[in-house]
Amino acid sequence: MTTIAIDFETANEQRGSACSVGLAWIEEGRVTRVEERLIRPRDMRFSGMNIAIHGIRPEHVEDAPEFPEVMDEFYDDISGATMIAHNAAFDFSVWRASLDLYRQSYPELTYLCSLKMAQRIWPHFLSHRLNLIAEHLGLHFMHHNAAEDAAVCAAAAIEMAKAVKAKAVEAIPALIGMTPGRLTAKGYAPCTCRKG
């Protein structure tokens, strides 16, 4: 079973404006591969606020491929994989909005939210933001760089698996009352946790 952490950065407030994607592969309890790709948004409108967050400007992506071409490169890896994102509601809304924009069907996959997992596994943390979890785990990274965010999400998920004695990251949900999210050709279902 392939598990891949994913992170998107957007050019503006529109969810379909992905301007970069980062992916980190988890195999046998470690991060084995990290990739980042710049994406040219269809309308090339960048907001100052988004640029201030991630530092990506229009000139950085003017020669980059658009969303379908970028994601097609990883289609075989992603299809049937367990994906994970920190605040999956955001990243998967970017993914869905971008696919909708290009009238493409959704891939078939299961996904987990490492933010919800961290809230359940480490309830004593004052915050469950990715940078603060990284600090707690002694991980150094450039926040809001898609590849580094994905790699830290993957590393944090590995530590969460250890914390609950799960054999693998994809085994965590059954131990913490989480229902994984799903993307399918027919739509999606969100990742949720039982109350209590």
Q: Read off the pLDDT of residues 114-129 as tens digits, 9 standing for 90 and up.
A: 999 999 999 999 999 9
Crossing angle of helices 146-163/114-121, nearest 10°? Answer: 40
C-alpha neighbours within 13 Å on the C-beta side of residue 50: 19
Cα–Cα distance for residue pair 85/104, rounded to 1 Å? 21
Mean pLDDT, residues 23-47? 97
Q: Band the pLDDT of 176: cuts 50, 70, 90.
A: very high
* Residue 60 clears pLDDT 70, i.e. is over it: yes
Whether residue 194 is predicted with pLDDT greater than 90 in this model: the reply is: no
Q: What average pLDDT is seen over the chain?
A: 95
pLDDT (tens digit, 9 = 90+) per residue, 73-95?
999 999 889 999 999 999 999 99
pLDDT, average across residues 169-175:
96
pTM for the model stands at 0.96
Quote the pLDDT of residue 129: 93
Write out the two tokens for 99: 């696919």
Residue 194 corresponds to which tokens in the numbers above? 């039982």
pLDDT at 196: 61
CATH ID of 3-193, from 3.40.50.300, 3.40.50.2300, 1.10.10.10, 3.30.420.10? 3.30.420.10
